[in-house]
Structure 1
Amino acid sequence: MRVLVTLCYLLCLLYYSTCYPLIKGRHNDTGSNLFSPADPAYNVTGVPDRCSDQGFGAMALDDKGVMHYFRGDHVWMGFQGSTQLIKETWEGLTGPIDAAFRIHNQNHPLEHQRIYLFKGSRVWSYYEGKLVAGFPRLISEEFPGIPDDLDAAVECHKGECRRDSIVFFKDDLVYIYTPEEEPAVKQRTWSALGRCTAAVRWMERYYCFNGIKFTRFNPVTGEVQSPRPLDTRDYFVRCPGRGHGHAARQNTTHMSIMNRCSNRSFEAFTSDDNSRIYAFRGGYYFRLDSNKDGWHPWPLSHTWRTLEGVVDAAFSFRNHIYFIQGSQVIIYSAYRIYIPIAGYPKPIQEEWKIPGMTSVDAAFTCPHSSDLYLITGNRLVLVDLNSRQRSGADRTIIHTEVDSAMCNPHGLYIFQGPSYYHYKNVEELLAAQEAPEPGNIASYFLDC
């Protein structure tokens, strides 16, 4: 398992948490370089400036989760990488690049996580930085029905689109390529979106770029999901004096919270029914299951509208995610998006009929079970979520200072400070006379 973390981002503009990424990092950044007191030099005489108002001709993540920005003969890798020539980075290819995307197709491992670069009538495919055998090929051979000289392209994952698809843009037309359907290509006109000179999928969201400006859109309908176009330099690349995280980089508290390798403790961990795994720290959350989309912390309201402050505990049950903050319980449904359930927050005592319980240290459920376990001190309280009442007598565990707990198909994890303790199941935890060998959260979960 892996996790996300790099930098601060503080904007939620639309009703259903329509937020935007802020300066992604390389997949192996420790985070320390993201909070330096002074920004590095961004432009060298005679070298194109990534922060100019020209925008980019193509953007895509590679198989390691590193964002690539293409313009003319040059490419920038990562949010603050140096300027490089495309011909020196990508074997057999020179700029400019018309379009790019990273394919997602787990049913076809020879294609999965490949990055595709388009120029004129041909397409190049790379994996781990190497040109795939048989490429370049004609676009008409690799993607029948898709025109040459594209403007942009972006992959669309199953669940976000009906099937794994690729959305191609040229002039005012959109071509949705779904090889598993007949016909494989469907032509659309998304007039509200306008022309896309580049497009990218990032953290389950889709962005259309036109020059230096971008908007978020629905990859199925083309519906615009941004209140207005925004500047790429404030969200996707790091530029001097720009970006909503600029001031936060000077704040040592933010540095510790958002540096995934700081060994600072987490207040909560949980996994939901869609196999998303989250870690919560200081009003932000980190996605553990999406390392291929980079390392990035988000404010809670980015995904859970109206949720703010520190989360004391979190757990999932039947496509709902529960948050405990102090003495209150808040519930969100967890289908395509998270929607707050009316009537909440409610007191813990009212929700589960537990007199005297005004706070918990940790909470967890295990897959395919209605048993909720609440940890307070070294006491384990069992609640039946079907009846919403305490079930059986309280038990004691050997851990006395638990920060969080999580149960998933890999077992039960107890988190204390920078360490975690792994058990096969609840029964093994209850039977334990001494704690197992601790593991380091930062190295095991955060890839530090």
Structure 2
Amino acid sequence: MRGSPPLPRGQHWRGGSGGPGTNGAALHRGRSSPGTGPPKKPGASHGSRCGDESLNDTDTLRRCADDGAFDAVTLDEKGRMLFFKGDEVWKGSHGRPEPINATWPELGSGPVDTAFRIHHKSSSVHDSLYLFQGEQVWVYTDGKLRSGYPRAIGDEFKGVPGHLDSAVECHPEECQAEGIIFFKGSDVYWYDLSAGQLKQRAWTQVGNCSAALRWLERYYCFQGLNFLRFNPVSGDVPAHRYPLDSRDYFICCPGRGHGHAAHHNATLHAPMDRCSGLPLQAFASDDKGRLYAFRKGYYFRLDSRRDGWHAWPLSHRWAGLEGEVDATFMWENFMYVIQGSKVFIYREDQGHALMQDYPKGLQEELGIPGADAAFTCPGSPLLYIIQGSSMQEVDLGNSQRVPKPAVPIPHSHVDSATCTADGVYLFHDAVFYHYPDAASLAGASAPAAPQITATVFFAC
């Protein structure tokens, strides 16, 4: 954006031998390891999948019963989702439960009032699991009870009451500070971990949470089997979407699943199916090694093999963004989203907040009237804009941002593009084309060999 410091992006993708697409393997990016199989529900453990459950199975009946609400839900130190109920715990979204005291013998029998994992690296208790019963809290690191625990909840978190209903960790990039949100009845408390201070929040849309969870930077309040997604700063709940049933999203139950009501209509479901082969309008990647792909008002995000690919409406992450996206790219901590003749700019390091006074005209911001695709490459301030069969270069580090003359490329049209440490990728319909770098693309006399996007990028 104009006036922003001309700093390098600092983004890095770690490519496999020979680069992605040479052997049909999924991409390796940043610190993450992408999925190599069908997408999993969030609670699925490594190698586990929904689909094998039977209504004749006693454990499935208990997990999926209409009165099957959980006492607490959290991720453990390894990222596996834990579902606590009575004196048992399900590790992952399906399978058999285990006694709570088989894993945490010091805790005794259940139930667990609430649980959360602190996963922020700035904390001295990074990747520690907190389990609450009555007036006490147990803290486990690497599966072992930390010295000095259990402790009174009020000693660990000054002012926080006992016999809590639920709690969830809140990350600084989403909550402006690192802390914990506690729920007890209709009361909501914010505890600042750095300052050691407790404040009560006057939230009207969310409360009475039997369990709470942070997953993929989203915050959920479970009310029995139903759940709400809420803003961790304001407590607002997106209109006209919630509550939803956790059995369609978080646990494996026969005949249920995310989007199950639309499965009978292939036209409705296809945009959310990563393997459908439908065109992708845009690609982008951020400095944390996450890849975003955009299609028909939805986006897919890949963090790791554990998380898998998931389709979400655009507005879930970028407020005010709806409809189809023409192009996207990252520059520093800014996400640029191009729609028609306008550009939206979001601060990815401040909870994906839309910059003030945006959207603005694309001509005003970047000196171009429109774009079919756009990409930046790691460590470079150069933006490449593709329109039809030509490509222009814009120096984002230059406050004037005057596009250079267009050069031809060996494609009459592309849907989207992205650039990694392994080169440039152009996408059209169900295939993509790989070039070593932008100069190779501009100098090519014929298109590169096409490869299947769903196979290589989505591991279908």
TM over 0.5: yes
1:248 maps to amino acid: A
**Residues 343-387 of structure 1: CA distance to partner in whole angstroms, max 9, x if unpaired?**
979798998456xxx863x32134676643123576432245655
- Give yes or no for the alignment of 1:199 onto 2:212: yes
- Which of 23, 39, 42 matches 1:24? 42
- Give yes or no for the alignment of 1:364 onto 2:378: no
8 Å contact kept, 2:45–2:91: no
Hey, what's the Cα distance between the residues in 2 that align with 1:302 and 1:334? 13
8 Å contact kept, 2:191–2:197: yes
Q: 1:139 to 1:394 in 2, by over 3 A?
A: farther
- Distance apart, 1:75 and its partner CA: 2.9
- 1:16 corresponds to: none
- Give yes or no for the alignment of 1:123 onto 2:135: no
- Give yes or no for the alignment of 1:186 onto 2:201: no
8 Å contact kept, 1:152–1:196: yes
Hey, what's the Cα distance between the residues in 1 that align with 2:433 and 2:104? 43
- Which of 315, 340, 344 matches 1:332? 344
- 1:13 corresponds to: none
Q: 1:115 to 1:122 in 2, by over 3 A?
A: closer
Hey, what's the Cα distance between the residues in 2 that align with 1:28 and 1:312? 35
Q: 1:28 to 1:280 in 2, by over 3 A?
A: farther
Hey, what's the Cα distance between the residues in 2 that align with 1:25 and 1:348? 45
Alignment coverage as a number of residue pairs: 411
Hey, what's the Cα distance between the residues in 1 that align with 2:252 and 2:223? 19
8 Å contact kept, 1:248–1:254: yes
**2:120 match: secondary structure:** coil
- Distance apart, 1:84 and its partner CA: 0.7
- Larger CA deviation: 66-75 vs 315-324: 315-324
Q: 1:217 to 1:262 in 2, by over 3 A?
A: closer
- Which of 85, 90, 94 matches 1:76? 90
- 1:57 corresponds to: 71
Structure 1 gap segments, 5+ residues each: 9-22
Hey, what's the Cα distance between the residues in 1 that align with 2:120 and 2:365? 46
Hey, what's the Cα distance between the residues in 2 that align with 1:196 and 1:203? 19
Hey, what's the Cα distance between the residues in 1 that align with 2:389 and 2:190? 55
- 1:161 corresponds to: 175
- 1:407 corresponds to: 419
Hey, what's the Cα distance between the residues in 2 that align with 1:237 and 1:375? 43
- Which of 404, 407, 415 matches 1:391? 404
Hey, what's the Cα distance between the residues in 2 that align with 1:206 and 1:350? 33
Q: How does 1:251-330 map to 2 (within 5 A)?
A: 258=272, 260=274, 266-271=280-285, 277-281=291-295, 283-289=297-303, 295-304=309-318, 305=320, 307-309=322-324, 311-317=325-331, 319-323=334-338, 328-330=340-342
Q: How does 1:28-39 map to 2 (within 5 A)?
A: 28=46
- Give yes or no for the alignment of 1:208 onto 2:208: no
Hey, what's the Cα distance between the residues in 2 that align with 1:298 and 1:426? 31
- Distance apart, 1:188 and its partner CA: 1.6
8 Å contact kept, 2:212–2:220: yes
8 Å contact kept, 1:102–1:113: yes
8 Å contact kept, 2:302–2:310: no
Aligned CA-pair RMSD: 4.7
8 Å contact kept, 1:125–1:132: yes
- Which of 119, 125, 128 matches 1:114? 128
- Distance apart, 1:157 and its partner CA: 0.3
Hey, what's the Cα distance between the residues in 1 that align with 2:145 and 2:425? 43
1:247 maps to amino acid: A
8 Å contact kept, 1:125–1:135: no
Q: 1:282 to 1:160 in 2, by over 3 A?
A: closer
**2:263 match: secondary structure:** helix
Hey, what's the Cα distance between the residues in 1 that align with 2:141 and 2:90? 17
